[in-house]
Amino acid sequence: MQEYIMRLSRFYDNIQRDMKLFTFVLFLLCFYRVLFMGLEHQYIASGTGWAVIGQANWTGLRLSLKGAGGVMLLSFVTTTLPELIVPRLQLRRLRLIWGTLVSFVLAVLFMARFPYYAEFGQTYGMQVMQGWHDDRTALFWTMVQEYGLPWRLALAIGLTAGCWYVLRALLLRRGTWPLPQLASRGRQAAFTALLVVGLAFFTVFVRFGGGFNYATGINWENAAVTGDNFLNECILDDIQALYRVRAIEKKMQGGMIAGVDKAHVRAYAAQLPGGQTAKGDDLTPYLARQAAGARIARPKHIFIVLGESWAQWPMLPQYDDLHVADGIKSLAAAGWSTPYFMPTGEFTSAAICGVVTGLVDAGARPNYQPRSYKEPYPTALAEQFRALGYQVDFWYGGAPDWDNLRRMALAQGFDHFYGYPDYGAPKTNTWGTNDKNLFQALVTHLSDEPPTVHLIMTTSNHPPYNIDLAAEGLDMAKMEQKVRELIPNARDPAALAKELGHYWYMDQVVTRFVHEVQQAYPDSLFVITGDHAVRTDPGPTPTLYEHQSIPCVIYGDGVTVATLPAGAVGSQPAIAATLIELIAPAGYVYHTLVPPMTEPDAPQGAAFNSSTWLTNSVIGSIEGNALEPLPQFTGEPDFDAERAKLTAVLSRQRTLSWWLLMQGTQLPLQQAGEQ
């Protein structure tokens, strides 16, 4: 009996110390949430009341029960249970070690949250997974040079030291309530049962985020309870935000994302133009189309320029006085363009994969799928242009092996891949060489080339933003002044001016390249677009259109405003099909999942990326309720009718893209009742 009391007393003491750790971590998560809200309050939408802010913090507290509970469970398993089983063990300091390590991780995540939110408008999102696969050396130096890693890390260490001091007092120096007097076995049994039942109820309550089931609790999927995007992101503490990333990544790899419906692969294949005649179990003929006939003379060279972070918002009329997009606007005026264009995803490799493979974002990254290295997808760009008599090359301002891009491009049919070391350019930043060196190397190379399609990815409009803009002829003082005038709510006008200066540099270099090549090779054809828009926003609360949309300009001999339908809606996976329809002879068979922008009904279509969709009148979130009219639209949009346009294409394109990536061209067995 004495040994039982001793064990119970030790267990009761340890449970209280675990509860202290739980309370401390919960307080820390809530404190960081409130502090972040306060320091970054400019992101809160105007008109948001204190009641909404309070609701966000209350919901966040409930959600943070999960993270604090996880830390407590770690302490319980590694300290409390071992001491219950082997009472002679003395593991209290282990609890302090765990608490200090968790405090350090939370401090680092808290300090990193500021630049991350400024870049991506999220607490932590899927860009984390991209960073995991990224060039970590380049990423490290970018964080040092652009995002203040040394001083942020120093502050995180300081915060950790403060946490250690408090935890040491709570866990080692301050005592706990003693075990009540339990004279009889009945009282001992009753107290033990009460303690166990109480712990069980507490565990369930914490597990479900302040409830006893999914319906009454809070989890990351239903935590967006306010109408303010910033507050909704603040509700997720850093632990839950990273858990969200892990959960979404797992769903994506399993095809469990919005729009992927593996049970209807055959039905979606039958909806494609090729499905009217295709039979059998090979998906390839279902993807087939016949070109209507060339709309312009066959060009000798084709250039597809993916400009780093080439967002469309600087081209809007209200930002004309910035004069950072004058080059691309001049090309658009002399050729064809559409303001209704979306990237494949929200980071560079997603855009490249979309153009190279012709597949939409379906959650499974093509550059990390084994099938991408076995043979080209039927929709891949390179093979289809090689069949038209073109060589297909990739020119990149970065390292050729970054994110498996060279290996993937060559496996998908490209003839050559040139990174900056391959053409002897100096390394001018952590990612590679500057745009001027990239395009100069390409111009020099053209004289030795047969007819070639060039896919070009720039790098300069990207942190660490180290181009000498003054030497390039930009008045930075004037640029900052214009930013303050046109974007009065800019969080850091000087930093935004620097970013826009690099946008201007890219615009100038690309435009000069186009004119130089056109003079030497007048029959050249150019497609100019961005890889994504996410990174540089006009102020802390951009519209969805400003945050997501990218330009699309087609320029060259014979291209006019009437070459393609006015206001066509498109995305990067449609580029190959669109170019084929412009230059291929009638009857040429090609394969595409996304219709070309030459279709007469292209203005009535919908385009989407990983999170957002767009038509010619509205833009909205795929899995949320956010809907906004486009700045070009002056009427009253029918939001339901516009969303129906998305519904018509989302599941088909995502499901078939996922199937090609994960299963290949072999269709699933035909089910009873299927055609």
What's 429's DSSP letter? B
Tell me the per-residue pLDDT of 417-432, one tens digit each, with 9 for 90 and over. Answer: 999 999 999 999 888 9
Co-location of 232 and 301 in the same domain: no
Looking at 134-228, list the stretches that DSSP marks H as alpha helix, in order from N- to C-terminal side.
Answer: 136-146, 149-168, 185-207
The reply to whether 652 falls in a domain is yes
Tell me the per-residue pLDDT of 443-479, one tens digit each, with 9 for 90 and over. Answer: 999 999 999 999 999 999 998 899 999 999 999 999 9
Q: What is the pLDDT of residue 253?
A: 67
Burial of residue 558 (number of CB atoms within 10 Å: 0-12, 13-18, 19+)? middle
Token pair of 469 as six digits? 């803009």
Average pLDDT over residues 497-521: 98
Tell me the per-residue pLDDT of 549-581, one tens digit each, with 9 for 90 and over. Answer: 999 999 999 999 999 999 999 999 999 999 999
Longest dimension (CA), the chain: 100
Higher pLDDT, 357 or 349: 357
Given 253, 278, 300, the domain boundary residue is 253
Domain that holds residue 325: 262-596+605-662
Given 192, 224, 253, the domain boundary residue is 253
Tell me the per-residue pLDDT of 308-330, one tens digit each, with 9 for 90 and over. Answer: 999 999 999 999 999 999 999 99
The reply to whether 394 falls in a domain is yes
Co-location of 156 and 278 in the same domain: no
Co-location of 202 and 283 in the same domain: no
Beta-bridge mates of residue 607: 614
Query: What Rg value do the Cα atoms of the chain yield, rounded?
Result: 29
SS (HEC) of 552-591: EEEEECCCCCCCCCCCCCEEHHHHHHHHHHHHCCCCCEEE
- Of 79, 107, 111, 84, nearest to 95 by C-alpha is 79
Which CA distances in Å does 126 have to 117, 280, 504?
13, 37, 28
Q: What is the pLDDT of residue 132?
A: 66
Tell me the per-residue pLDDT of 49-70, one tens digit each, with 9 for 90 and over. Answer: 999 999 999 999 999 999 999 9
Q: What is the pLDDT of residue 129?
A: 66
Predicted confidence (pLDDT) at residue 130 exceeds the cutoff of 80: no
Angstrom distance (rounded) from CA 433 to CA 308: 13
CATH number at residue 309: 3.40.720.10
Given 201, 223, 253, the domain boundary residue is 253
DSSP-derived 3-state class of residue 607 = strand
Q: What is the pLDDT of residue 672?
A: 45
- The answer for residues whose C-beta is within 8 angstroms of residue 405's C-beta and 6 or more apart is 349, 352, 367, 394, 396, 417
The reply to whether 667 falls in a domain is no
Co-location of 214 and 146 in the same domain: yes
Predicted confidence (pLDDT) at residue 146 exceeds the cutoff of 80: no
Tell me the per-residue pLDDT of 254-280, one tens digit each, with 9 for 90 and over. Answer: 666 778 898 999 999 999 999 888 889
Q: What is the pLDDT of residue 135?
A: 65
Co-location of 415 and 526 in the same domain: yes
Co-location of 124 and 230 in the same domain: yes
DSSP-derived 3-state class of residue 640 = helix
Question: Residues 364, 365, 367, 372: what is their CA dihedral angle, to the nearest 10 degrees?
Answer: 30
Q: What is the pLDDT of residue 20?
A: 94
Co-location of 275 and 245 in the same domain: no
The reply to whether 671 falls in a domain is no
Percent above pLDDT 70 for the chain: 96
Co-location of 245 and 268 in the same domain: no
Predicted confidence (pLDDT) at residue 671 exceeds the cutoff of 70: no
Higher pLDDT, 249 or 25: 25
Co-location of 553 and 437 in the same domain: yes
The reply to whether 423 falls in a domain is yes
Co-location of 511 and 638 in the same domain: yes
Which CA distances in Å does 342 have to 126, 361, 544?
18, 12, 11
Tell me the per-residue pLDDT of 298-308, one tens digit each, with 9 for 90 and over. Answer: 999 999 999 99
Co-location of 211 and 294 in the same domain: no
pTM of the model as a whole:
0.78
Co-location of 271 and 247 in the same domain: no
Band (pLDDT 50/70/90 cuts) for residue 673 is very low
The reply to whether 323 falls in a domain is yes
Average pLDDT, the chain: 91
Query: The dihedral of CA 383, 385, 390, 391: what is its sign?
Result: negative
The reply to whether 332 falls in a domain is yes
Q: Into how many domains does the chain fold?
A: 2
The reply to whether 673 falls in a domain is no
Cis previous bond, 178, omega within 30 = no
